[in-house]
Chains A and B, each alone.
Chain A
């Protein structure tokens, strides 16, 4: 971690797709157990920031450090291991594997790190219970509702006890009641496990579950903590 205790930091990130800059000198930092909402208009660079922080996209320049390690200096294998072991992901549409049952989906990140099937599925079931959807464990994603599927996806993101959770519009496809319950369970679990949450959202009611917000505009990120 950095001297100020930040777990994940980015400095002066730049990334262009063709002639269009998506990030133009963006800074970011997050501490363990903190939930930070990343807001901003469409096309402002929110998702690109999340992808760079998560090591999914390589920035053209700038630095991303996780727990003192520079992501750009890691090889592909090391970054993949980081994403599997230390990071968790939730997207707008759960992106569950349709051929697997829900419990197998949740167990998948553990199986990829070498955990035996029985142990992995035991832990997966615990997380499904925690997300109040244990009853769908044996069903395939196509047989469950949108709200249930998203809770399964959240359970999958938490199963490896990641240190950073990346959520890109995690409730975008849900109605208010389901969306709020998912946010409630998700942020509560993250806080208990001291995971940091990078939450990309355009919805104020979702951002209200965060501790502070960062506004991305024209590829730059403005930390609003202490701005008022």
Chain B
């Protein structure tokens, strides 16, 4: 999952300090793996260098200066592109998909659309595997079946998430 794009997505709702960004990330997406401060600051300086964020203000205090970051037009375009592109289907994709769904809801984009496009991408691979099964030996069939069951599990999660979007939207944007 792209931490840079996730942080950008979190910035879409308004400028934040690096510390606030880390806290927002950990609260929503970092249940088992909170971000290190170093990770946040190195990511932010990369985003800054690439013109995806800009410094919105600097607070001078007793410690080091605190920069407040704001997303740029180019940053918004990158987030929009990331959310509209399906992920390559593979097992254990849930954390990325979950992040994308939450960010879509947070930024007022159509989460159903994102899930529809992802379903379509999964089905495309499932069609290929089903076709391979048709023409393959028993061993090929079993190998394809293994992949198909994993993809099906992803899609079951996707359908359940689609059914709970309204509920999730309320929690994400009370």
On A, residues with C-beta under 8 Å from B are 37, 39, 41, 184, 202-205, 207-211, 213, 215, 217, 222, 224, 227-228
Would you call A205 and B152 a contact (CB within 8 A)? yes
Q: How far apart are the CA atoms of A204 and B119 in the complex, in Å?
A: 9
Contact stretch, chosen from B4-12, B48-56, B121-129: B121-129
Binary interface profile of B, 148-174, with partner A (CB < 8 Å = 1, else 0)? 100110011001001100000000000
Would you call B120 and A202 a contact (CB within 8 A)? no
Would you call A217 and B123 a contact (CB within 8 A)? no
Chain A contacts of B112 at CB under 8 A? 217
Chain A contacts of B124 at CB under 8 A? 228
Q: How extensive is the interface on chain B, given as a class?
A: 20 to 34
B18 within 8 A of A: no
For B86, B122, B155, which residue has the most chain A Cβ atoms within 10 angstroms?
B155
Would you call A204 and B151 a contact (CB within 8 A)? yes
Would you call B119 and A215 a contact (CB within 8 A)? yes
On B, residues with C-beta under 8 Å from A are 86, 112, 116-117, 119-124, 126-127, 129-130, 134, 148, 151-152, 155-156, 159, 162-163
Main secondary structure of the interface of B (DSSP, over half): helix
Chain B contacts of A41 at CB under 8 A? 159, 162-163
Would you call A215 and B116 a contact (CB within 8 A)? yes
For A202, A222, A227, which residue has the most chain B Cβ atoms within 10 angstroms?
A227
Chain B contacts of A213 at CB under 8 A? 119-120, 123
Q: How far apart are the CA atoms of A143 and B156 in the complex, in Å?
A: 34
Q: How far apart are the CA atoms of A224 and B112 in the complex, in Å?
A: 13
Nearest first, the 6 closest Cβ-Cβ pairs linking A and B are A208-B126, A224-B120, A204-B155, A208-B130, A204-B152, A228-B120
- Measured CB to CB, the closest approach of chain B to A204, in angstroms, equals 4
Would you call A208 and B119 a contact (CB within 8 A)? no
Chain B contacts of A228 at CB under 8 A? 86, 117, 120-121, 124
For A205, A211, A215, which residue has the most chain B Cβ atoms within 10 angstroms?
A205
Chain A contacts of B155 at CB under 8 A? 204
A-B contact pairs, 18 of them (CB 8 A): A37-B123, A39-B119, A204-B119, A204-B122, A204-B123, A204-B156, A207-B126, A208-B127, A209-B130, A210-B127, A213-B120, A217-B112, A224-B117, A224-B120, A227-B117, A227-B120, A228-B117, A228-B120
- Take A204-B123, A208-B129 as given contacts and tell me if A227 and B152 are in contact as well, using a CB distance cutoff of 8 Å: no
Would you call A208 and B148 a contact (CB within 8 A)? yes
Chain B contacts of A227 at CB under 8 A? 116-117, 120
- Measured CB to CB, the closest approach of chain A to B116, in angstroms, equals 5
Q: How far apart are the CA atoms of A222 and B112 in the complex, in Å?
A: 11
Q: How far apart are the CA atoms of A205 and B127 in the complex, in Å?
A: 9
Would you call B116 and A224 a contact (CB within 8 A)? yes
Chain A contacts of B156 at CB under 8 A? 204
A224, closest chain B residue (CB): B120
- Measured CB to CB, the closest approach of chain B to A42, in angstroms, equals 8
- Measured CB to CB, the closest approach of chain A to B160, in angstroms, equals 10
Chain B contacts of A184 at CB under 8 A? 134
Q: How far apart are the CA atoms of A209 and B148 in the complex, in Å?
A: 12
For A202, A210, A215, which residue has the most chain B Cβ atoms within 10 angstroms?
A215
- Take A41-B159, A184-B134 as given contacts and tell me if A204 and B126 are in contact as well, using a CB distance cutoff of 8 Å: yes
Q: How far apart are the CA atoms of A202 and B126 in the complex, in Å?
A: 14
Chain A contacts of B121 at CB under 8 A? 228
Chain A contacts of B162 at CB under 8 A? 41
Which of B86, B116, B123 meets A208, CB within 8 Å? Answer: B123
Chain B contacts of A203 at CB under 8 A? 152
- Measured CB to CB, the closest approach of chain B to A126, in angstroms, equals 23
Instruction: List 11 additional contacts besides A207-B123, A224-B117, A227-B120; criterion CB under 8 Å.
Output: A184-B134, A204-B122, A208-B126, A209-B130, A211-B127, A213-B119, A215-B116, A215-B119, A217-B112, A227-B117, A228-B117
